[in-house]
Every structure is written in structure tokens, then in C-alpha cells.
Amino acid sequence: MSESLLYFFQQVINGLTVGSTYALIAIGYTMVYGIIGMINFAHGEIYMIGTYVTFIVVTALASMGIEFLPVVLVTALAISMLVAGSYGYAIERVAYRPVRGSKRLIALISAIGMSIFLQNYMRLAQGPRDLAMPGLISGGWDLSGEGPLALSLSYMQAIIFIATLVSMGALTWFISRSRTGRACRACAQDQGMTSLLGINTNKVIAITFVIGAMLAAVAGFLLGLYYGVVNPMIGFIAGLKAFTAAVLGGIGSIPGAMLGGLILGVTENMTAAYFSTEYKDVVAFTLLCLILLFKPSGILGKPEVEKI
Amino acid sequence: MANIKSAFFSALLTLFLGVSVMGLQLESAGIKLGVQVADSHTFWYLGLAALLVFGVQLFRDKLPRLRSDPEKRFEWPEVFKGEQRQRMWMALVIILMLMFPFVSSRGWIDIATLVLIYVMLGLGLNIVVGLAGLLDLGYVGFYAVGAYSYALLHQYLGFSFWEALPLAGGMAALFGFLLGFPVLRLRGDYLAIVTLGFGEIIRLMLNNLTELTGGPNGIGGIPKPTFFGLELSRRVDEGWGTLHEFFGFSYSPVHKVIYLYLLAFLLVLLTLYVIRRFIRMPIGRSWEALREDDIACRSLGLSPTWVKLSAFTLGASFAGFAGSFFAARQGFISPNSFAFIESAIILAIVVLGGMGSQLGVILAAIAMILLPELAREFNEYRMLLFGLMMVVMMVWRPQGLLPMKRPQRRLDTTRLASASTGEASNVK
Amino acid sequence: MSNNLLVVRDLSMRFGGLLAVDQMALTVDERQIVSLIGPNGAGKTTVFNCISGFYRPTSGEVIFQGKAMHRLPDYKIARHGMVRTFQNIRLFREMTVLENLLIAQHMQAERNLLKGMFNTSGYRKKEDELADRAAYWLERVGLLEHANRESAYLSYGQQRRLEIARCMVTQPRLLMLDEPAAGLNPRETAELDELIVELKDQQGVAVLLIEHDMKLVMGISDQIVVVNQGAHLASGTPDEIRNNPDVIKAYLGEE
């Protein structure tokens, strides 16, 4: 393969890596939107919390002398999912449930307030600065070519792909097969009817938030290890991008969120590789505007019917 | 019994949430990352918080209902009622405001000027959020456009403040128009997130277009406004000369501060007047109508896109004016002045004051800018509390602290009489 | 057929797998009262939503005064002079009765911002005209004394009449009423009956009506169109409809 082609494929791999974590975060947006029709602005912050908890656990284990990689990874992932899930649950109880029946603007402001609160809460808890952690997993496979332009897949990237696939598989199984998953789908279709059938819709909504938060924590864990840097602001941009991914794929649709995440990840990486890194973040936003302009229902979404 | 269980659970959850994030503190140690147990204060506070949650949850039913009646509106006390009296009070306030800088210190005038800038921003955003019901999370983007418009017009074309002011407002309005056009056709949530993105993008662009904007270094040497062409500095090389020479009094640097304050006050008065008129005009009526029921609006032939766009564009233009004044006052601007936090502060002002309430926004701006200035140690917690306040306000008092009854257009009784005696049949 | 005001042809509306409206057709002539009746869930309101542009029909044509409407957005259709009310009343509840009518007259209002800003005499004159027209219509529907009340505090029947007045101040050619008699007592229904006939005779508007109150429908309609399961079942004068076996079957079921 020619060098430029190798470079191109490398960018695709890198893009898919980041994109799959966007997809994980995007699922949280899409599920909450599907079920209560609102954007959970604080979702990006959950991702940020997940990353911090991962850093804390990994560093704490290292200081206790535990460095056996599988143990470290599993413990960090499990704890950050637990913490993020608890935050997701608490946020829903405190900021969203009391305003659920109100006008949309009120719920939106409450959500954005929660997002600002969490950002600054983390600033106070762990300091405003970047914290860097040395990589745990290095090395990878050379797929083709040699030298600096070789096409390679790092072990970390492979882990990201596998973890994303496993999470998505588990989610799909849960939604389509489990009792609670069925209740979730019913709730998304018609909340009033679902509660008439004796299903506790409050519980279903809470579960939706917890699942979304846990997936965001998985993304936080993966990206945290991949980039090795965290600060209280990372949730802001990641949230914006994951939301773009959700809209791109069609908000409310879970396969859409996956697809949207991957497309966005690749597009962004291509921009960085072929134009300029500075405008990487601008791309996501431009893409968002273009979708909203030409196909607001996204790739896999259904257009909404207004009730009159 | 059920309460004890849920109270216990809530307290435990609080403790868990707190400890998991605050219990261990990360710190950089060279290239490695270290971790240490947080100091005992943190745990005491967490315990206290858990106890508080426990108490509140336990006595949940006994506590007074927190959510207040959203229909209730603020009523003026008797002394302020009536048009005549209100005009008198207003005149008094204006006179006091005009006298303030001459009896105050330089530091206080500076803070007051800052408050006035936020009043202007709050009033402008209130058009968009309070009147039209559109959540704009990137208002600071328009503020930045205004500030950079003046700075760049000065740097490249030598425009003065007064020449640049209308253009800065116009540029911000143009950006609002271009951004709003694709997005305003869609649901409100999208607008919120797109404006959030827009605010960030503007900042990124200003940072990255180094050749034009100076990037992160910003633009300096932006001149202060002149007084009808006279400058308020010690000496000038060209132009009309300085104010103190022209009128023959001795130069003092405080004059410049006072002048800026008075200018800001004038701009706020203008803003107030313009918005007061808007509310009573067809355009303002349609904003509020759209906020209440967009389907009804469409059934009457109102184009929702244009109504929203007009609110969005006009709201943005006020941010543009405020921005160019800000650039003139600071003399130096950089992308750092226009971070998302600023949007959040302005939104918090509108939310606290009461959406749609002019007086509420003014008082909220005073409170929210003055308090952190007075209590510096509080500064660190400022944004945390602003975020918390937004949630609490929405849950507890979504109409804001000072919700005003909107001014209603009334049919006067003389017309009532003439219409009912049949004269009205020829007005059709 | 030069005096066809509204012609609807082959109108269909599909929501996913559900064909809510199936090849509907109807015509309304100038100064005619046409009623759309049918069992609950027959798709009458969906037909209304398609005609007034709130839904984009899957197929079919809506021709109003010789112009195609079916591709226009809802608010533009309203501007052509086809204005509707809603089954579950949509007033601007926090605004006064008068303000509800002022908003409706936005096309006649002075929209020059500068004139409004400086409160010029021309602007004030225009605003007074709007208020006069509002007062005229409030008197017609018997709400003049309530002009300065917030519309949320009106009784149900008054709200219905206000919604009609709000349509009328826009000076429409066709008034579309979606169940205007729902929730009214017999006296209010009789007043409504009178009002609709007056609007036709004195203002020269045509009326397209969805209504379940058969007494009202049979009394005032020039034409009746029966919808069943989204499709056109029958149309004709009240007498023809009363004696149509298909219609009787649709309403009472087989046997």
C-alpha cells in the first residue's frame, strides 16, 4: 500500500476509536430523550466524573502496590460505573423529577444548572488543572508498512473497540430481552399508558438515567486511559460532541447513536489529519448545524408528529 | 417508617457521592500522579451534608411546601403605585444614579460600571429567554462579536467608539440572524445546544485566527470613548484635544472612570426604554404569544421562525452594544473574557430575577455581580452556587424572585361605550 | 364551478403503518356551511390538520381560491384567509382578551420598528384601529365587557367564542371550526348556531365545521360530508345524509 493510503487508514482507525466512545456517551442522550423527551445537559459531566474516578482508582491501587493490569482495569471500570450510575440516579431525583411536568424551558434551565454545578463541584474537589496519568497499556500490532507511517492498531485501541462492542451488545440485549428493558421501550412509546398498566414509570426513568450514566462512565474510563489527561472541563466538549452524534444518527434511536458516534469520530479525525487540528472541534459543530438544517430527524430517526 | 428508610438511603447516597469524588485527592507529582486522603475537614463537611439530607428527608412531609404558586405576581407596595408616582420614583432613582459617581470612590464606580454592563446583558438576554422563551446558552458569543467588532474596526480601519458602536450591534445581530435561521425552525432543545456550541466556536475561532485577532494574546490599545470628539486623557497628539483643556479644568484620571460610568448608565437607560417599547409593540406581543402557544400563533398566520428570529437577533444586538462598550472600557480584550461561564452568569441573572421581569433582572444583576466583589473568599464557590441556584430556582420558584405582572394593553372605557352604542359598526 | 372556495382531492395521510386519512375529497363553496361528521376516531381532525397545513399530507391536493395549499407551511395557509380553531381551545391564556385579538391582527399592525419605538402618531392610529376592530368583534360575540380580563379566566363557552372572534379579526374567507359546540350547554349551543349563521350571512365567510352535535349540524349545514375510517363515506344535504343507509350503518353498526 502506498504511504498516503496507509495514513488514510490509520486516520480511520483513530477516528473509529474516538467515535466509538462518543457513541457510548451519545446513547445516554438518546435514551433519556427517547423516554422523557428532554436533553440531559449534565450527561457530559457524568462522563467527566467517570474519568476522574478511573484516575483516582488506578492511582490509589498503584499506591497500594497493586499493579496487576487485569485487576486494576476491572476494579477501575467497576467503581467508576458504580459512582457514575449513582450520580445519574441522584441527578434525576434532584434536578429533573421535580420539574418533569413543567414547561420545557424550565427543565432545560434546571439541567444546564446541574451541569454548571457538577463542573465546578469537580473543580473544587480535584482542582481546576489538567491531571496527567502515565499510560497503563502501551504497544500494539503493526498491521502493514514500516517506520513512522506504518499502519498500526494499539492495544489500547483494541480494548476500546472490544469494550464498546461488549457494552453495546449488553445494552441491546437488556433493551430487547429483559423485563425492565421492555418496560423502558413501553415508557418511551406512551408513558401514561405504561403507568396505567401498573409499571412504575418513575423507576423506569431512573433506570434509564443510571444505564446512560454507566455507559458514559465506560467511555470516561476508556478515553481517560487513551488520552491520559483529565480536567473538569472535558465533559463540556465531550457532551457537545456526543449530542451531535446522537442528533446525527437520529435522536431517540440507539443504533443511530452508535452510527452517529462513529461518523463523527472519523470526520473529526480526518479534519485534524488533513486540514488543521485547531478546527477539529469546529467540525462537530458545523456538522450539527448542517444536519439540523437538512435532515433534523437524523440518519435513522423518525420525524416527530406534533400533537395538535 | 417509609420516611426513615428513604432518609437513610438518601443520606447514604449523599455520603457515597461525596466520598467517591472528594475522599481521595489526586495530585501531580512530577510526571506521575499521586493520591492522598483528603483532609479531615472534607469528611466533616460530608458528614454534615449527609446529616442534613437525612433530616430534610425525614421531615419531608412536615416541611412547608417549597414550590411556590407560579401564578403569583409581585405587587408594588402602595407608595409605588400609579403612573405619576412611579415616574417620580424613577426620576429620583435616575438622579441618585447620576449623582453616585461624584460622591463615591473610584473602586466603587468601577464596580458599578461592571454591574451596568451585566444589567445590559441581562436585559438583552431577557428578550430571548424571558419574553420569547428561547434558551440561548451562547449569549456570550454575541458579546464577543460586539467587543471584537469594535477592536478590529479600530485596529484596521481606525474607527472611533461612537462610529463602531452601531456597527458592533449590527454585527452581533447579523451573527444572531445567521445562526438562528437554520436552528430556530426546530425544537427549543436544539437551539439551546447549538447556541452552547456557537459560544464555544466563537471563542475557538478568536483563539485560532491569530493573524486577525491576535489569538490568545488578544487585542490591546483600544481607545476609550470620546466626549463629542474630546478625549479624556492627559494629552493627545491629534484630533480635537482633551476635555479638560477644552473646558479648562485640571486633569484627573477619575474623570475617565466617571465618564465611562455615565455612559454605561446612559446605555442601560436606552436599553430599558427600547425594551419597554418592544413589549408594548406588535413585535413584543408576538414574542409572548409564541412563548405561550406556538400552534395557535401558526394558526393565525404568524411565522414562528420570523418571530423567534426577531427576538434572537434583537437580543444579540444588545450583547453587541454591551460588548463594544466592554472593549472600550477594558482597553484590552482576549478570548478568555468570553468563556461559557459568562453566558452562565448572564442566564443566572435572568433566571434569578424572573424571566420577563425588567426590574427583577436589574436587581439580580446587582446582587450577582456585587456579592462576589464584596466577598472575595466566596469567589471560588461562585459558579458552584450559580449552578445550584439555577436548579433550586427551577424546582422552587421558576417564575424568579421578582416576577412582574406584564403590562397589559387595556381597552379604555370610553371606547367601550362608543363601541357598544353601535358606532363601532363602521370600524369594520 | 367557479365559486369553489376550497377543493380537497385524494387527500391521504399516513402515520407509519396507519392510514389515518384515505383519499378524502370535499369542496366548500363561497358562503357555504359545510360540516364534517363521522364517528370518533374517523380522522376528521386529521383532515383539518392536513387542510390547514399542520400536517403535511402524504398525497392529495388542497386548492383554496384556485391556489395550491398542500405544500405551504401552516402559517402561510392562514394568511391566505383560511383560519381555524382547535378542539381543545388554544388561547394565549396569560394575555387579556383584547391582546388575544391584537396578536391575531399582526398583518394589519404597524410593523415598522422605528415608528413603534418613537410612538409616532401614525403608529398610534394603527394600534387604535386594531383595538377598534377587536372591540367590534368582542361586541359581536358578547365579550366586550370582558375585554381586559385574562383569557384563562373566561368560562368555557366564552373561550370558544373568543377563539372564533380571534379568527374573525384576521378577516378570513374560510373559517374552520373544530368541534365548537363541545362542552357548551344548550343555550350556548343555540347562540353559537346563531353566530355561525350570522358570520355566513353578514360577513360572507364560508364555514367548514367538525361537530358531533347533530341538531346543530343538521340545522345549519348546506352540505354534510361523512367520514368513516379516514375515508369519504357520503356527502350531500342534511336530508340526503339523514336517509343514507351507509351513514346509518356507520353510526349504528351492522344490524
- Of B39-48, B243-252, B281-290, highest mean pLDDT: B281-290
- Of A3-12, A157-166, B229-238, highest mean pLDDT: A157-166
C85 touches chain A (CB under 8 A): no
Residues B54 and B99 in one domain: no
Residues B179 and B296 in one domain: yes
- Of A100-114, B246-260, B315-329, C207-221, highest mean pLDDT: B315-329
Number of domains, chain A: 1
Residues B121 and B217 in one domain: yes
Contact C90/B415, CB-based, under 8 Å?
A: no
Residues C183 and C241 in one domain: yes
Spell out the alpha helix ranges (H) of B293-303.
Answer: 294-299
Average pLDDT over residues C148-173: 93
Q: What is residue B316's predicted lDDT score, i.e. its pLDDT?
A: 96
> Does residue B52 belong to any structural domain of this protein?
yes
Distance CA A9, CA A15 (A): 10
> Does residue A148 belong to any structural domain of this protein?
no
Residues C42 and C165 in one domain: no
Q: What is residue B283's predicted lDDT score, i.e. its pLDDT?
A: 94
> Does residue A147 belong to any structural domain of this protein?
no
- pLDDT over threshold 60, residue C237: yes
> Does residue C86 belong to any structural domain of this protein?
no
Contact B292/C94, CB-based, under 8 Å?
A: yes
Residue C45: band (very low, low, confident or very high) from pLDDT cuts 50, 70, 90: very high
> Does residue B409 belong to any structural domain of this protein?
no
Residue C86: band (very low, low, confident or very high) from pLDDT cuts 50, 70, 90: very high
Residue A45: band (very low, low, confident or very high) from pLDDT cuts 50, 70, 90: very high
Spell out the alpha helix ranges (H) of A92-190.
Answer: 104-126, 155-177, 179-189
pTM of the shown model: 0.87
> Does residue A122 belong to any structural domain of this protein?
yes
Which candidate in A305, A306, A307, A308 is best for mutational testing of the C interface (most C CBs within 10 A)?
Answer: A308
Nearest chain B Cα distance for residue C122, angstroms: 13
Instruction: Give tens-digit pLDDT for B26-52.
Output: 888 777 788 888 888 889 999 999 999
Q: Spell out which residues of chain B touch residue C74, defining contact as CB-CB under 8 Å.
A: 298-299
The boundaries of the domain holding residue A180 are 10-138+154-266+275-294
Nearest chain B Cα distance for residue C243, angstroms: 36
- pLDDT over threshold 80, residue B377: no
Residues C117 and C235 in one domain: no
Residue B64: band (very low, low, confident or very high) from pLDDT cuts 50, 70, 90: low
Q: Spell out which residues of chain B touch residue C132, defining contact as CB-CB under 8 Å.
A: 415, 419, 424, 427
Residue A148: band (very low, low, confident or very high) from pLDDT cuts 50, 70, 90: low
> Does residue A70 belong to any structural domain of this protein?
yes
C-alpha cell at C239: 336530508
Nearest chain C Cα distance for residue B411, angstroms: 6
Q: Show which of C171, C192, C213 is a domain's final residue.
A: C171
Distance CA B254, CA C52 (A): 64
Q: What is residue B422's predicted lDDT score, i.e. its pLDDT?
A: 42
Residues C1 and C111 in one domain: no
Q: What is residue B66's predicted lDDT score, i.e. its pLDDT?
A: 57
Number of domains, chain B: 2
The boundaries of the domain holding residue C103 are 94-171
Q: Which residue of C has its CA nearest to B280?
A: C116
- pLDDT over threshold 80, residue B235: no
Q: Spell out which residues of chain A touch residue B67, defining contact as CB-CB under 8 Å.
A: 98
Average pLDDT over residues B56-67: 72
Residues B32 and B177 in one domain: no
What's B376's DSSP letter?
G
The boundaries of the domain holding residue B123 are 95-396
The answer to whether the CB of B334 falls within 8 A of the CB of B380 is no
- Residue B427: left (phi > 0), alpha (psi -120 to 50), or beta? alpha
> Does residue C255 belong to any structural domain of this protein?
yes
Average pLDDT over residues B380-391: 88
Residues C21 and C121 in one domain: no
- pLDDT over threshold 50, residue B423: no
Residue B414: band (very low, low, confident or very high) from pLDDT cuts 50, 70, 90: low
- The ipTM assigned to this model is 0.92
The answer to whether the CB of A28 falls within 8 A of the CB of A40 is yes
Number of domains, chain C: 2
> Does residue A5 belong to any structural domain of this protein?
no
What's B65's DSSP letter?
P
> Does residue B102 belong to any structural domain of this protein?
yes
Average pLDDT over residues B88-114: 89
Residues B287 and B367 in one domain: yes
> Does residue B225 belong to any structural domain of this protein?
yes
Q: Is the Cα torsion angle A79, A82, A85, A87 positive or negative in sign?
A: negative
Q: What is residue B320's predicted lDDT score, i.e. its pLDDT?
A: 96
SS (H, E, C) B89-152: HHHHHHHHHHHHHHCCCHHHHHHHHHHHHHHHHHHHHHHHHHHCCCCCCCHHHHHHHHHHHHHH
Q: Spell out which residues of chain B touch residue A122, defining contact as CB-CB under 8 Å.
A: 21
Q: What is residue B90's predicted lDDT score, i.e. its pLDDT?
A: 87
Q: Spell out which residues of chain B touch residue A246, defining contact as CB-CB under 8 Å.
A: none
Top pLDDT among B209 and B151 is at B151
Q: Which residue of B has its CA nearest to A52?
A: B21
Q: What is residue A146's predicted lDDT score, i.e. its pLDDT?
A: 66
Top pLDDT among A38 and B332 is at B332
Residue B67: band (very low, low, confident or very high) from pLDDT cuts 50, 70, 90: low
Residues C75 and C118 in one domain: no
A146 touches chain C (CB under 8 A): no
> Does residue A302 belong to any structural domain of this protein?
no
C74 touches chain A (CB under 8 A): no
Residues B124 and B25 in one domain: no
Residues B249 and B383 in one domain: yes
Instruction: Give tens-digit pLDDT for A210-242.
Output: 999 999 999 999 999 999 999 999 998 899 899
Q: Which residue of B has its CA nearest to A241?
A: B197
Q: What is residue B332's predicted lDDT score, i.e. its pLDDT?
A: 93
How distant, in Å, are the alpha carbons of C43, C57, C250, C252 from that of C23? 12, 11, 18, 23
Q: Spell out which residues of chain B touch residue C86, defining contact as CB-CB under 8 Å.
A: 295-296, 299
- pLDDT over threshold 60, residue B426: no
The answer to whether the CB of B331 falls within 8 A of the CB of B232 is no
Contact B286/C86, CB-based, under 8 Å?
A: no
Nearest chain B Cα distance for residue A192, angstroms: 22
Name the least confident of B43-47, B124-128, B355-359, C47-51.
B355-359
Instruction: Give tens-digit pLDDT for A243-261.
Output: 999 989 988 888 899 999 9
> Does residue B405 belong to any structural domain of this protein?
no
Residue C248: band (very low, low, confident or very high) from pLDDT cuts 50, 70, 90: confident
Residues C228 and C108 in one domain: no
Residues B10 and B141 in one domain: no
Q: Show which of C171, C198, C222 is a domain's final residue.
A: C171
The CATH number given to whatever domain includes residue B148 is 1.10.3470
Contact B182/A292, CB-based, under 8 Å?
A: yes
Residues B38 and B105 in one domain: no
Residues 6+ apart with CB under 8 A from A49: A80, A83, A84, A87, A118, A122, A217, A220, A235, B21
Question: Considering chain B, what is the average pLDDT of its residues?
Answer: 85
Residues C189 and C75 in one domain: yes
B300 touches chain A (CB under 8 A): no
Which candidate in B276, B278, B299, B314 is best for mutational testing of the C interface (most C CBs within 10 A)?
Answer: B299
C-alpha cell at A161: 473497540
- pLDDT over threshold 70, residue B236: no
Q: What is residue B16's predicted lDDT score, i.e. its pLDDT?
A: 93
Q: Which residue of B has its CA nearest to C77?
A: B301
Q: What is residue B427's predicted lDDT score, i.e. its pLDDT?
A: 38
Task: For chain C, count helices (H), then strands (E).
Answer: 10, 10
The CATH number given to whatever domain includes residue A227 is 1.10.3470
> Does residue A308 belong to any structural domain of this protein?
no
Q: Spell out which residues of chain B touch residue C92, defining contact as CB-CB under 8 Å.
A: 288-289, 292-293, 296
Q: Spell out which residues of chain A touch residue C49, defining contact as CB-CB under 8 Å.
A: 308
Residues C114 and C236 in one domain: no
Please report, rounded to a whole number, the percentage of residues in chain A having pLDDT higher than 70: 96
- pLDDT over threshold 50, residue B428: no
Which candidate in B283, B298, B303, B411 is best for mutational testing of the C interface (most C CBs within 10 A)?
Answer: B411
Residues B15 and B132 in one domain: no
Q: What is residue B424's predicted lDDT score, i.e. its pLDDT?
A: 39
Nearest chain C Cα distance for residue B323, angstroms: 23
| DSSP H/E element including C209 | strand C206-210
Contact A305/C55, CB-based, under 8 Å?
A: yes
Distance CA C143, CA B362 (A): 38
Nearest chain C Cα distance for residue B423, angstroms: 9
Residues B267 and B346 in one domain: yes
> Does residue A87 belong to any structural domain of this protein?
yes
Q: Show which of C154, C171, C188 is a domain's final residue.
A: C171
Nearest chain C Cα distance for residue B136, angstroms: 23
Nearest chain A Cα distance for residue C49, angstroms: 8
> Does residue C64 belong to any structural domain of this protein?
yes
Average pLDDT over residues B254-266: 91
The CATH number given to whatever domain includes residue C244 is 3.40.50.300
